[in-house]
Structures are given as C-alpha cells and as structure tokens.
Amino acid sequence: MKSIYTIPKVVKYDDLSKSWFIYFRYDKKLFRFKYGINYISNYKKREAEANILRDALHQKLKEGWNPLLPELVIDDPKLTLIESLDFAIEKKKPNIGSKTFSGYNGTIKFMKNSIEALSLNNLLITDTKRSHIKLIMEKAAEQRKWTNSAYNKHLNHLKAILSELIQWDIIPTNPAHKINNLAVAESRANVPASDNDFFKIKKEMQSKHSNFWNFCSTIFYTGIRPEEILKITLEMIDLENSKITLPPEITKTNRERVVPINQHLIEIFKSMQFGNLPDNYYLFGSFRQSGKGNVGAKLDFIPGSTKLKRDTATKRWERIVKKGLEINMNLYAMKKHGANKMILAGVSIDALKDLFGHTSQVTTQIYITDLKEINRKNILENAPAL
C-alpha cells in the first residue's frame, strides 16, 4: 500500500542568509517547516538542527500524525521574530477580512526589511523586547519615509499580529504593547460638521437628493460602513423584526452581524417601498446598464438590480457637500456624527460598540469625537452632593 506521505527532506543553501526548510507531502499536499533552524549562523550547526527537525517530523508521520489537522499546542522557543510573524499571520488569516489581511501582510513585509537592515534576522521571538520593536519601527519609518499617521497604522497592525502569538503560548506578553502612537492632527474633514452646517447638509439633501440622503441616514443610524451598505440586498432586511443581517462575505470581520433598525430608519425604509421587489435587488442600487456611462445616474441609491461603487457615493457627497455647500466634511464622518448624537442621547459606549460591530470599546471611542464633552456633561448632571 502506497504511503499517504513522502519522507521529509531538508532544503539547504550555502548562503546562510537564505531560509532553509524541511518539506514533505501529505495526501498530495505540500508542507514546509522552517521554524527554529534559521536563527543558527553556523552551517554545520544549522544542518545538524535541520536534520533533527527532519527526523522528528518523519517520526511523527510514522506515528500517525496528520498535518492537515491543526495542533492545539505550539511549543517552539527557537522561533525567530521573522518566523513568528509568518506564523502569526498564517493563524490570523481565517479570522480577518481580505483587506485587513492585505494590510497586515504589507506591515510584515516592511518589518522584515527593517529587521534585515538592523541585522536582527536571528533575533528569537522569546528574546524580543519593546526596545527591539521600537528600533525596528524607527528603521521602517526611515526606510519608507512614513508620516506619523502611517507609523501609527503599521504599529497597530504589528500589535495585532504579535497578539496572536500570545494565544498560541509562544510568548507571554506582547513586545509591541505600550509603545505610544505618534501625534497626528486629525483632518478636519473626518470630524463631523457643526450643528449649523449639518442642518444645511440635511436641508439640501432632503429637498434635492432624497434618495442619497436615505443612504447617508443609514450610515448615521447603523454605523455600517458605506461600502458594506452598498452590498446590502433586500433579502438581508427584516422590517418585521427591525433588523439587518449582514452575511460574513460582506463584513470586514468575515462574521455575520445583526444590526438593529431603529424607529427613524424604519420609516425611511418604509418610504422606499421595496416590499414587493425581488430579494436580490440592492437596497441602495440603481438600474444603470453596463457600458451606458452615467445614464440613469439620477435614479441612483434606490432599490435596484445594479450594485453601485463606493466611489459613486464619495463623488456624489463631494459634489453636493464639499463643492456645492463648501462644507469640509467627509461622507464617513456621518458615522462619527451618529456616534456622537447617540452617546449624547444616552446610548452607552458598550451598546454602541455592539451596534458598530467592534471588538473593543477602544475602537468605538475613536468614532466619538465629543467624548470629552459627554464626560463633562455626565459629571455636571451626576455629581453627588457633599
């Protein structure tokens, strides 16, 4: 009977800067293992370590090990920092969206370049300290000419990636934890407009662009990302039970998310009269036809068979608000405006976290630009008597 696996073999190079690995096939699928050998800078010692790993893998296969099944415990104190980044992203991949995965991969690429430039290729993850991470980040910022905003983005990516190693008991603490973000002045366009300017936006939209205003109001009331709203089909909406069910394939986290429809949004949806339309129609779509350019553009953001692009919403907002009304506010700031108003109305941060589909209150607080004013109001209203 033919074996389900091939005998593991070592792939090695005279150039020790190249990664060695052990490979074999199991049920015709190729597997590569390199953890714990590439930190060794001596050829013979690395070869000896690689042979030990090869023999250990062969023994496990002979004992019935199935590498297609996930192992519950990872115990390899010889993982280098570079290898640990590869391991972490591999484990994180099933639980994050494609856009997030792409962003994390970019960060890992920059970190590897920085690690090599600092000659830290052989640094073990168990020996990695906060000072190492700061050096690596500073080198990456120098190499890539990052702005403070870009630095913060990649630092936060790195924190999230390294946190995966704690889950697998590879490290007890995150070496990137408590490294401070750099100061960034928030773009005024990402801050909600004043109440006076917002009244102008609302008046203009309701009188001349009511379909688009329904779309903007959905961002305000639900906190759903604009690109996700454009993917909502009528079958995802349950007016009877006041909820929108977002399937995993359209959410950032690749997980189903149920969003409540409040009484204000219910009235908007009812006014759109989509009850008898096909379930596969988009809630905010159109009847544009491929190759017809902007024909039918006035009928955008209505229940229809054609999905609109995110760019269509951005350009529509810029034309009406930024150019027409000369108000410097981005479309995405509608989400922050909704967060502020809900918190001021008494909605808890925890409830808002659930509405927005966030995993932590820290993320939610980013959207609450009036948090200091809210805290001040709470102190004034709830301060006890002496």
Residue 37 counted as domain residue: yes
Residue 282 counted as domain residue: yes
Average pLDDT over residues 21-45: 85
Query: Residue 272: is its pLDDT beyond 50?
Result: yes
Asked whether residue 157 falls in the same domain as residue 234, the answer is no
Asked whether residue 128 falls in the same domain as residue 250, the answer is no
Quote the pLDDT of residue 269. 96
Alpha-helix residue ranges (DSSP H) falling in 26-171: 43-62, 81-92, 98-117, 130-144, 148-167
Residue 382 counted as domain residue: no
Asked whether residue 229 falls in the same domain as residue 364, the answer is yes
CB 153 within 8 A of CB 126: no
Asked whether residue 157 falls in the same domain as residue 229, the answer is no
Average pLDDT over residues 134-161: 94
What is the extent of the structural domain holding 22? 9-62
Q: Which of 167, 198, 217 is the last residue of a domain?
A: 167
Asked whether residue 18 falls in the same domain as residue 97, the answer is no
Asked whether residue 199 falls in the same domain as residue 158, the answer is no
Quote the pLDDT of residue 72. 44
Q: Is 33 helix (H, G, I), strand (E, B) or coil?
A: strand
Asked whether residue 248 falls in the same domain as residue 339, the answer is yes
Q: Which residue has the higher pLDDT, 39 or 368?
A: 39
- pLDDT tens for each residue of 85-94: 998 998 888 8
Residue 284 counted as domain residue: yes
CB 271 within 8 A of CB 265: no
Q: Which residue has the higher pLDDT, 183 or 280?
A: 280
Which residue type occupies 291?
G
Specify the number of domains making up the chain: 3
Residue 233 counted as domain residue: yes
Give the C-alpha separation, 160 to 82, whole Å. Answer: 15
Asked whether residue 318 falls in the same domain as residue 207, the answer is yes
Residue 259 counted as domain residue: yes
* Cβ-proximal residues to 329 (8 Å cutoff; 6+ apart), any chain: 189, 191, 192, 193, 197, 201, 321, 322
Query: Residue 164: is its pLDDT beyond 60?
Result: yes
Q: What is the CATH number of the domain that holds 221?
A: 1.10.443.10
Quote the pLDDT of residue 97. 75
Asked whether residue 249 falls in the same domain as residue 325, the answer is yes
Quote the pLDDT of residue 348. 73
Q: Which residue has the higher pLDDT, 192 or 6?
A: 6
Q: Which of 167, 199, 224 is the last residue of a domain?
A: 167
- Average model confidence (pLDDT) across the chain: 85
For residues 225, 229, 235 and 241, what is the CA-based torsion angle, rounded to 10 degrees? 60
Residue 239 counted as domain residue: yes
Asked whether residue 139 falls in the same domain as residue 248, the answer is no
Asked whether residue 135 falls in the same domain as residue 260, the answer is no
Residue 151 counted as domain residue: yes
Quote the pLDDT of residue 73. 43
Asked whether residue 48 falls in the same domain as residue 85, the answer is no
